[in-house]
Chain A
């Protein structure tokens, strides 16, 4: 198992190199003055020139790349002009908020989409199936920022069930002591039911928004792969051997159908991490997405670059986890040694 992990880690190296090179190219090679980007719109020509030397932009490109890699290795992502803090510490502080929201949305989506997809496949052609198809098509068609606004209008403005969409906690509650950085988990660890309830009611709407967006692809692929599993030869054998409906659907069809679903999770994560940026903006969620959007508006490029890199590395790690899960489930993928 350890060897497998190491082995798989090695295969992420090309992707990491690609990401680093791409993020470097984005700022250095493309048109526009990199120094002016990093100095921000208010900088004087002298300040820009000074920054140019400071960043080493007057050096040849390969040397610049070398410095860039060294800085990255040291964790130096530059300084944010808006907050005055190093980008890395800003991102560290805000990452748990984004992670909590994304995972909350994903788990919610999985809880709804997987059973729905299975039901649709098992009862192909019935109301459940049509509902699944409709939800899947409608779900991918809804712009995530628009869903968020609709939910706010209905649940905050009209029904007043939901607190104001302004961040992770209302002003009367203080954050739980940080262990994981996830308020829901930290408040439970601290045994603080009040804070848990407060943070839960804050995360619910943005979580649902993300879930609506990501349930469509999950439900769709679950249904499709369940259908193909159910029509495969080994299910026919299982039926001919008189196995019970439960065994056939759960042990035989579902476990096989899960494989494509797990593969699709990579794509779903890609969507989720992108949608997260928009949802954070709508709900004033203090995560790294809204951090990047604020920086964008202020033409503060270092945080944007840091954000893109962080997201890419996060995404590579997630794909690694997905791949490992796949190998655990599918014996064909295990390296027979």
Chain B
């Protein structure tokens, strides 16, 4: 590594003009990136990590401006340079890739043409060999049959494939610096690993510098040389990746590090040190099965993309294509007081399964026996009127989306009581909601707020209070922390564990993240393509997986050194 940094951010302050006045999104930030170095910028939402990178690329939106400080690239002052000069650097000397790769590509232009646009812009190619160069760029990101992919539109490619195209586009002109802003968020875990490996291989190979912006300390630890931790627009710590995990010096870094799920820890280890917590009581799970699922199948008819007329013409000899099996004959039990994790990547059928158990969706075949009663045959449409409704409840993935924007917190929590319980006086109802709020750790004075006036963690607590309001026997947790920052996730997971211990419920925890599931669950079920590929005691599955797929899942999750 050379002494002269490739990118030098000094005393950077970025301001945004909003309706409530000027907001400083980034405050006096210093970051330097040496040639060939990989630097991770880590922080939770609102830490200013993305804004910093937008300022470097000079693509802040209209409301934002650099108020103070300087950014220099190879000794060239980016903050005061004219727009045309910066534009010439972008894509040629420094590139950026984003999260949500599908949206990052022009939906109505062939991906090959989009790469050509960049090549042409920077005059790296005459029109003759532009196509060849674009295909070469696609081949470099390990896309099979690049000649064919050249003509594909983004909607014809998978999310991981789109991210490869975006990387090809960013690296087409062989820049010196690549800024990757949450490049794997929203992708499946195994795809995440492939994409990250690709980025690191390509940039190392070419001696490039990389800035990796992420909320995931584990990811930064696994791939970066140096880590910069940001909180509320400020840099709180900068250190070599190895050191920062061994000896985190700032309290925030320690908190963040502790909150990151990793192998070999217990739930309580996620909370900040010195937090006053009692050990989790472990109620013995009884042997009686609370829920018993047998041979559950859900089929969907295949969508006909064939045109009307050709369907008409071929009516006679068309063989009926087999319906798509989202859930393909699975069986499992959940005992009383037990928590079971249902793990898999998107499209594996875990959500469909939970919706059927929840009785929001009718199975095609198979049985769901709850508390000794067959509920799989009761139609989902009228299950709201069944007395068992109050016994199976759910905590949703996105706490914001799961709360009616027009209901206050107290109205949301009281909804199940009003609908499914005995009528009660307003005072008693209020008192009961306040009790519930206390149980889930929500300050009762927040009860009269609307969802948009609550933080993500508070909304999650409202959702949990609503789910436990009627003392259900089974609560389905559908990725309950996926939309939350890690520090909030740590608190919510602990809360869920405590609630289970005090109230004696069973959990079915649906998630894509084996580590998170491992913290809360006694047993794990791994699903792939609608089928169960592995099932067992959590510890065993995590430490000695038998299925190849489980192994791939476990190794794909990056984590900080223990």
Is residue A251 contacting chain B, with contact meaning CB distance below 8 A? yes
| Contact B307–A243 (Cβ < 8 Å) | no
| Contact A239–B90 (Cβ < 8 Å) | yes
| Contact B96–A240 (Cβ < 8 Å) | yes
A256-B95 in contact given A6-B309, A236-B59 (Cβ < 8 Å): no
CB distance from A85 to the nearest CB of B (A): 39
Closest chain B residue to A6, Cβ basis? B309
* Alpha-carbon gap, A7 to B95, bound state (A): 44
Which of A3, A231, A242 sits near B87, CB closer than 8 Å? A242
* Alpha-carbon gap, A4 to B107, bound state (A): 21
In the complex, chain A residues whose CB is within 8 Å of the CB of B91:
240-243
Closest chain B residue to A253, Cβ basis? B106
A234-B107 in contact given A124-B62, A241-B95 (Cβ < 8 Å): yes
* Alpha-carbon gap, A7 to B313, bound state (A): 11
| Contact A332–B107 (Cβ < 8 Å) | yes
| Contact B107–A241 (Cβ < 8 Å) | no
| Contact B122–A234 (Cβ < 8 Å) | no
Can you sample 8 A-B contacts with CB below 8 Å?
A3-B309, A3-B310, A7-B310, A236-B98, A236-B104, A238-B106, A252-B109, A331-B108
Which of B88, B104, B305, B307 sits near A3, CB closer than 8 Å? B307
Please provide the chain A residues from 314 to 337 with a CB less than 8 Å away from any CB of chain B in the complex.
Answer: 329-332, 335-337
* Alpha-carbon gap, A245 to B61, bound state (A): 15
| Contact A329–B108 (Cβ < 8 Å) | yes
CB distance from B173 to the nearest CB of A (A): 8
Q: Could you tell me which B residues sit within 8 Å of A by CB distance?
A: 57, 59, 61-62, 87-92, 95-98, 100, 103-109, 117-118, 121-122, 153, 155-156, 166, 169-170, 305-310
Closest chain B residue to A124, Cβ basis? B62
Is residue A247 contacting chain B, with contact meaning CB distance below 8 A? yes
A241-B118 in contact given A7-B309, A11-B308, A335-B305 (Cβ < 8 Å): yes
Please provide the chain A residues from 273 to 315 with a CB less than 8 Å away from any CB of chain B in the complex.
Answer: none
Given pairs A237-B105, A330-B108, 13 additional interface contacts (CB within 8 A):
A10-B308, A11-B308, A233-B104, A237-B97, A238-B106, A239-B59, A241-B169, A243-B91, A255-B108, A329-B108, A331-B155, A335-B307, A336-B305
| Contact B117–A247 (Cβ < 8 Å) | yes
A242-B121 in contact given A331-B153, A335-B305 (Cβ < 8 Å): yes
* Alpha-carbon gap, A7 to B307, bound state (A): 7
In the complex, chain A residues whose CB is within 8 Å of the CB of B89:
242
* Alpha-carbon gap, A193 to B91, bound state (A): 54
In the complex, chain A residues whose CB is within 8 Å of the CB of B96:
237, 240
| Contact B90–A240 (Cβ < 8 Å) | yes
* Alpha-carbon gap, A330 to B108, bound state (A): 6
* Alpha-carbon gap, A240 to B170, bound state (A): 8
| Contact A234–B106 (Cβ < 8 Å) | yes
Which of B61, B100, B104, B118 sits near A242, CB closer than 8 Å? B118
Is residue A160 contacting chain B, with contact meaning CB distance below 8 A? no
A234-B105 in contact given A3-B307, A242-B122 (Cβ < 8 Å): yes
Is residue A244 contacting chain B, with contact meaning CB distance below 8 A? yes
Which of B59, B61, B103 sits near A240, CB closer than 8 Å? B59
In the complex, chain A residues whose CB is within 8 Å of the CB of B156:
336
Which of B62, B90, B155, B310 sits near A241, CB closer than 8 Å? B90
CB distance from B125 to the nearest CB of A (A): 14
| Contact A240–B100 (Cβ < 8 Å) | no
Is residue A232 contacting chain B, with contact meaning CB distance below 8 A? yes
CB distance from B263 to the nearest CB of A (A): 35
Closest chain A residue to B103, Cβ basis? A233
Which of A7, A237, A251, A332 sits near B155, CB closer than 8 Å? A332
* Alpha-carbon gap, A124 to B106, bound state (A): 22
In the complex, chain A residues whose CB is within 8 Å of the CB of B166:
237
In the complex, chain A residues whose CB is within 8 Å of the CB of B61:
231
Please provide the chain A residues from 191 to 242 with a CB less than 8 Å away from any CB of chain B in the complex.
Answer: 231-234, 236-242
* Alpha-carbon gap, A239 to B118, bound state (A): 10
* Alpha-carbon gap, A11 to B97, bound state (A): 42
In the complex, chain B residues whose CB is within 8 Å of the CB of A241:
90-91, 95, 117-118, 121, 169-170
In the complex, chain B residues whose CB is within 8 Å of the CB of A251:
109, 117
In the complex, chain A residues whose CB is within 8 Å of the CB of B107:
234, 256, 332
Closest chain A residue to B102, Cβ basis? A233
* Alpha-carbon gap, A255 to B156, bound state (A): 19
| Contact A234–B308 (Cβ < 8 Å) | no
Closest chain A residue to B154, Cβ basis? A234
In the complex, chain B residues whose CB is within 8 Å of the CB of A236:
59, 98, 104
CB distance from A267 to the nearest CB of B (A): 22
| Contact B106–A256 (Cβ < 8 Å) | yes
Task: Give me the 6 closest cross-chain CB pairs, A-B, nearest first.
Answer: A242-B91, A242-B90, A241-B91, A233-B103, A240-B96, A237-B104
